[in-house]
Every structure is written in C-alpha cells, then in structure tokens.
A = this chain, B = another copy of it.
Amino acid sequence: MYKAKVFVTLKPSILDPQGNAVKKGLLSLGFNNVEDVRVGKYLEVTLEAADKEQAFKDIDEMCKKLLANPVIEDYSFELE
C-alpha cells in the first residue's frame, strides 16, 4: 500500500483571490510579517501498487487526467 501526498497549486500567472483573502485575514489578526499566501489543494491518495515505480506512474497519470487542470494548475507529489 502506498500513500501519495499530492499538491495542486494555481499557476503563478493565475490570480489567487483566496490567497489574498487569507493574507488580509492574517494581517488583520496582527500577523504583519506575512508577505504572501497562496492557497492550493492537498490530496492524500492511498493506493495499491506492485511497486513504487508503478505507484508513481499511476499517481502521475491521475494528476494529469483528473486531479489537476493543466490550464490553470500545477501539481507535484510525494510518495510514501
């Protein structure tokens, strides 16, 4: 059994209103040292696979097909 931690982030060129809102929220709470906030998605996918290589390939394909939209998002992942 493998567990992948997948990170999906908005491409730098895409505005991130949610990140801005969180930043504002932090500033108004007094965290004046915050420079920037970006908000993305974090997915934990548990899967069965013959070996790590296969798991890696599968996860990569899942990201490409469904988990991230290449028009607006980038992805990366770690496999355990």
Contact = CB atoms under 8 A, between A and B. Distances in A.
Interface of A: 1, 5, 7-9, 19, 22, 25-26, 29, 31, 33-49, 58, 61-62, 65-67
Contacts of A34: 45-47, 62
A45 B61 CA distance: 28
Nearest to A44: B38
A9 B39 contact: no
Contacts of A9: 42, 44
A8 B46 contact: no
A29 B65 contact: yes
A48 B65 CA distance: 37
Contact of A44 (B40, B44, B45, B46): B40
